[in-house]
Amino acid sequence: MIRGLYTAATGMNSQQSQIDVTSNNIANVNTLGFKKDRAEFQDLMYETLNYTAGQTSETTRNPTGIDVGMGVRVSGVQKSFLQGDLKSTGNPLDIAIEGNGFFRITMPDGEAAYTRSGAFKVNDEGAIVNANGYQLDPEIVIPDNVIKLTIAKDGLITATDKATETVVTLGQITMSDFINPAGLAPIGESLFKETEASGAALDGNPTENQLGNLRQGMIELSNVKLVNEMVDLITAQRAYEANSKAITTTDEMLDIVNRLKR
């Protein structure tokens, strides 16, 4: 019966992890470009009390064995990179990705990071940056003598010169994609970093090589569905309570056994 205590304890720990993951999803329901997490579980090793297909006589075998499980563990937390809803803002520097791909951002240490959040701004030098001031890569500078900024679906940025009223090209937004986006490492601030599991970044222009296209004046919202998260939260809570009840029941049974031994 001691086994039951430890088995139920693994269930409580696992459901606590499920609640932690779900809580993080709910907390980020309004985070631009956020991708929801999903906790995944595996059963633990089994104690074999009677082998399957064990010999029961010279001519017969067990059709089934007796294998008692030792509980459950969290095997991983996977990101879901399903497209979030797009919201129109009218801001010319809000850019949503429709389809596959990530914006490439240059971190302060010079390393590359990747994001789906396209709520961009300009810094004091006119360079396009994210909310933390990290520059879009490749660097694109918008001079103060242009108007009517336009970002095409293929990432080409143009504007109209106020003095000459001619259209000038300011730069080209490129994107990156990965063979296994779920292998990217989240580092916070809606940013991800490349890992060996994600594979190397595949760079290109929007609309090319299965990369998505850009939508100016729109942003991608979180792909968290609040109703689904609330259902997951209730399910995890009930499972946690059931495992807790298993521990209480096992403890009561042990108490009965101890009293019988006196």
pLDDT in tens, 58-89: 777 777 777 788 899 999 999 999 999 999 99
**pTM of the predicted protein model:** 0.86
pLDDT of 8 above 80: yes
Tell me if 250 sits within 8 A of 4, measured CB to CB: yes
Match 């088995």 to its residue by tokens: 7
The pLDDT value recorded for residue 196 is: 96
Select from 105, 108, 127, 128 the least CA-distant residue to 116: 105
CA–CA separation, 91 vs 89, rounded Å?
5
pLDDT at 262: 64
Q: Give the H or E element holding residue 216.
A: strand 213-216
- Beta carbons of 233 and 22 less than 8 angstroms apart: yes
pLDDT computed for residue 258 by the predictor: 81
Please report, in angstroms and rounded to a whole number, the separation of the first and last CA atoms in the chain: 19
Nearest-5° angle of CA 73, CA 79, CA 81?
Answer: 155
Sheet strands side by side (includes 156-161) = 146-151, 156-161, 167-172
Per-domain boundaries in the chain: 1-79+222-261, 84-219
CA gap 24, 39 in Å, rounded:
11
- How far is the C-alpha of 82 from the C-alpha of 41, rounded, in Å? 21
